[in-house]
Amino acid sequence: MKNILVLCTGNSCRSQIAEGYLSYFAGNKANIYSAGIETHGVNPKAIQVMAEDGIDIRHHTSNNVDEYVAIAFDYVITVCDNAKENCPYFPTQAERFHFNFPDPAKAQGSPDEIMNEFRRVRDMIKEYSKDFILQHLKNQ
């Protein structure tokens, strides 16, 4: 079974969404973890847009990357440039991947416009997650 870590700045939105979709698409082929360089708590809007797509992340927690230093990760995915630049060294042979998704928590505008940005980013992360699992876990 593969171990996958999704890393973001605050483990609040993008990494939480990615954890939800990677878990969904991987099924029992991988253990999925998410963490941040800092911890900001799981964003309620991320929970809401995931629920709209049938994925429940209400029980996710915001974790610091230091909590996972003892896990031998096969893959580390950074989902923002800040996390990529500050990603700690893991004593593993983890293969690293990076995609700088926009931060929906920084969206401005009306409540509808902000939620639409969360949905847009959610959909981007969903496609990335689906493709990642198809490419890297197809033979598991």
Catalytic residue selected from 80, 94, 125, 137: 80
Show the beta-strand stretches assigned E in the chain: 2-8, 30-36, 75-78, 95-98
Question: In whole angstroms, how large is the CA radius of gyration of the chain?
Answer: 14
13 is catalytic: no
Catalytic residue selected from 4, 5, 7, 8: 8
Q: How far is CA 3 from the centre of its chain?
A: 13
Q: At what angle do helices 44-52 and 14-26 cross, to 10 degrees?
A: 30
Catalytic residue selected from 29, 40, 63, 87: 87
Cβ neighbours of residue 2 closer than 8 Å, sequence gap 6 or more:
26, 29, 30, 31, 74, 75, 136, 137, 140
Catalytic residues: 8, 80, 87
